[in-house]
Amino acid sequence: MSKKQCVIVDLSCYTKYIALHDSSHKYVFFCELLTSLRFRPAAATSLLCDNDAAHRLAKDHVGHLNVKHIYVKFHHICKLIKDGTISLTRMCSLDNTTDILTKPLAQGDFQHLRNYLRVCASPL
């Protein structure tokens, strides 16, 4: 799903960090739902992140000087990573299929991501 965030940020790192926070909340909900149905996940679920700065910030936000203005609630992702509930995995931007919906791409990149989505161009 793609939607506007309710918080205004000035760096893409913070945007991705907030998106990780939102994704973690959805994961916790689904994990609790599956647990109530007796399908407990065996291992930590991997969240994919294509922003190195957001990845480092989620691993440890304490060592970063410029994050004082980020709401404390967004640091919940750090607790989930330390608990082993979620593992954060680096994703290459070239393989990020959400980019096809969120930014203009060169034709080659667009076709590459379109193949991941299994969408074919209609014959003329």
27 and 68: one domain? yes
Distance CA 1, CA 77 (A): 19
Backbone CA torsion sign across 48, 28, 22, 1? positive
Task: Indicate whether 27 and 59 sit together in one domain.
Answer: yes
Shared domain check, 123 and 70: no
- Same domain, yes or no: 106 and 50: no
* 124 and 85, same domain (yes or no): no
Q: What is the pLDDT along the chain (124 residues), one digit of tens a residue?
A: 556 656 666 667 777 878 888 888 888 888 889 889 988 777 887 888 887 877 777 776 565 556 655 656 666 777 888 888 888 888 887 888 888 888 899 999 988 888 888 887 777 6
What tokens appear for 90 in the block?
């680096």
Rounded to the nearest 10 degrees, the angle between the axes of helix 52-59 and helix 76-83 is: 70
State the Rg of the chain over Cα.
Answer: 17
Domain range holding 121?
Answer: 93-124
As a whole number of Å, the end-to-end CA separation of the chain is 30
Q: How many domains does the chain have?
A: 2
